[in-house]
Amino acid sequence: ELTTRADTLDVIVIGAGMSGLYQLIRLRELGLRARVLEAGSGVGGTWYWNRYPGCRFDSESYSYGYSFDSDLLSEWSWTEHFAPQPETERYLNLVADKYDLRRDIQFSARVKAAHWDEAAGCWNIELEDGGRHRARFLITAIGALSTPTMPSFPGMDDFKGPSFHTGLWPKEKVDFAGKRVAVIGTGASGVQTIQEVAKTAAQLTVFQRTPNWCAPLHNGKISPEEMAEIRTRYDEIFQRCRETWACFLHTAHPQDTFDATAEERRAFWEKLYAERGFGIWVGNYQDILTNRAANEEISRFIADKIRQRVKDPAVAEKLIPKNHGFGTRRVPLETFYYECYNQPNVKLVDSKATPIERITPTGIRTSDAEYEFDIIVYATGFDALRGAFDRIDFRGANGVALKDKWQDGATSLVGMLVDEFPNMLMLVGPHNALGNIPRTIEFNVEWVTDFLRHLGERGATRFEAQPEAVAQWMDHVMEIAQGLLSMEVDSWMTGVNHNVAGRQTRRIARYTGSAPNYRAWANGIAERGYAGVEIG
């Protein structure tokens, strides 16, 4: 049992990333006494932990920043179309300074347990260091991809050199110059790391288990003049993000693949391939992720690009996915990624054909070879969406454990509430419209803020999602994912992570309908007086 302190806060927010920071600003406006508990020593969440070389946005910078503060929009200049991590971390620190947020944030405070106390109508929070807090409401702002996962190769502790997970990168600069480096994993993080490390490493060996379909980012600097011009278009930019499928500047072409002639398709795809950002993925013909023949067609187009860019045909074939179509997993955006494999210092190992058997004191042993390394980088991903919840012992009404409740997959009401978990709200919970995530973060924070205001006005002290409402939303979540080719593929989006027990079966982890549709659902609940939520 958690003992409690006499002073009870109105709200505890777990996490000081993009969602936690904005939520704190809004809670203060409501006049609520709030505290943010943050595991890291600084603000930024994703942009605090992911310091690996080459880490950057794949969303256009000016579509990614906060939209709620026009002064901030005038004040802040993005220097690149896709800002690198240090810039984003600086940006989020500026926001924390501007709103004097740190006085309500407790750093190096990793939450261990959060138990609902029905009699007191409060959440009791316990930190890893034994610290305790108590609050009427609990808001989780713990991120979607925030629990790094490591493989379980034998001998991992024996390696004598430094090794790092991309999502737990140290603050000190890691120098790769002249070093023999291994990168394990070729998801979005691995691709960004590889193309950067390849510039200086004496030798870079990439261990690829499953190739991904990557496409060019086409990053570039933003001059002060261009930034001034972008600033005049902020209203239009954010309006566009509100209207598009996944809150990006890009959105699906309103035509099916085979409605265009072969020449038209080719011209359109060449144009998309030459354009900045996610257009080739989310700005493509509307049926590429649902129509198998259409998907095969675009996959062939991208495969040919890889063949053109990689000189050694055998290496090119290894880099072309064979078991999933283009866009059915997250498309890593890249800058000369494929060309890296033309460099004499870069080697690709197919770790499906020749699996890693163990990590040795001096490197990696595969089924057919022994490699020596100075540094090993694990770009092995995250326990997406549920991992951050599993790390905390959440207990709801009658002591029910969230981990048990979610044994066969997370359940929620619009990704923000869970039945049996009274007075708890989730900002980047499961079944959210992810995509260009800050846009959904702002929406969710505003929804939560309106809801708390509503509770205050009603003098309510307790709320809980009704199981029927959760079931209805979950039916919608499942139904809308039907027919998506991505549902036939293992990825963090389908909740599969082979490094985590209990994550071997595909089950939709995010909301796959459109963001406008997601917002309509959530707004509908509010407009009907928070229908589906029991308020007392």
Binding positions for ligand NA7, rule: CB under 6 A? 145, 151, 166, 184-190, 209-210, 330, 351, 379-382, 492, 499
Q: Report how far residue 348's alpha carbon sits from residue 197's, in angstroms, rounded to the nearest whole number.
A: 14
Per the CB < 8 A criterion, the answer to whether 36 and 164 are in contact is: no
Per the CB < 8 A criterion, the answer to whether 173 and 197 are in contact is: no
- Residue closer to ligand NA7 by CB (options 153, 258) is 153
- Residue closer to ligand NA7 by CB (options 334, 420) is 334
Burial 424-446 (b: 16+ CB within 10 A, else e): bbbbbbbbbbbbbbbbbbbbbbe
- Residue closer to ligand NA7 by CB (options 479, 488) is 488
Residue 335 beta carbon to ligand NA7: minimum distance, rounded to whole angstroms: 16
Residue 493 beta carbon to ligand NA7: minimum distance, rounded to whole angstroms: 8
The 3-state DSSP class for residue 75 equals: helix
- Residue closer to ligand NA7 by CB (options 272, 379) is 379
Q: Report how far residue 431's alpha carbon sits from residue 367's, in angstroms, rounded to the nearest whole number.
A: 39
Residue 249 beta carbon to ligand NA7: minimum distance, rounded to whole angstroms: 17
Q: Report how far residue 142's alpha carbon sits from residue 20's, in angstroms, rounded to the nearest whole number.
A: 8
How does DSSP assign 407-434, residue by residue?
Answer: TTS---BTTTB-TT-TTEEESS-SS---
Residue nearest to ligand NA7 (CB): 187
Tokens, residue 196: 């950067």
Q: Is 33 exposed, middle or buried (0-12, 13-18, 19+ CB in 10 A)?
A: middle
Residue 189 beta carbon to ligand NA7: minimum distance, rounded to whole angstroms: 3
Tokens, residue 38: 């943050």
Q: Report how far residue 163's alpha carbon sits from residue 272's, in angstroms, rounded to the nearest whole number.
A: 37
The 3-state DSSP class for residue 482 equals: coil
- Residue closer to ligand NA7 by CB (options 283, 387) is 387
Residue 491 beta carbon to ligand NA7: minimum distance, rounded to whole angstroms: 7
Residue 531 beta carbon to ligand NA7: minimum distance, rounded to whole angstroms: 33
Q: Report how far residue 213's alpha carbon sits from residue 280's, in angstroms, rounded to the nearest whole number.
A: 11
Tokens, residue 156: 């991992």
- Residue closer to ligand NA7 by CB (options 144, 413) is 144
Q: Report how far residue 515's alpha carbon sits from residue 504's, in angstroms, rounded to the nearest whole number.
A: 27
- Residue closer to ligand NA7 by CB (options 63, 166) is 166
- Residue closer to ligand NA7 by CB (options 49, 492) is 492
Residue 145 beta carbon to ligand NA7: minimum distance, rounded to whole angstroms: 4
Instruction: Please choose, from the candidates 105, 96, 8, 1, the residue with its C-alpha nearest in 3D space to the C-alpha of residue 47.
Output: 96
- Residue closer to ligand NA7 by CB (options 499, 517) is 499
Residue 15 beta carbon to ligand NA7: minimum distance, rounded to whole angstroms: 16
Distance of CA 53 to the CA centre of its chain: 18
Residue 100 beta carbon to ligand NA7: minimum distance, rounded to whole angstroms: 30
DSSP 84: B
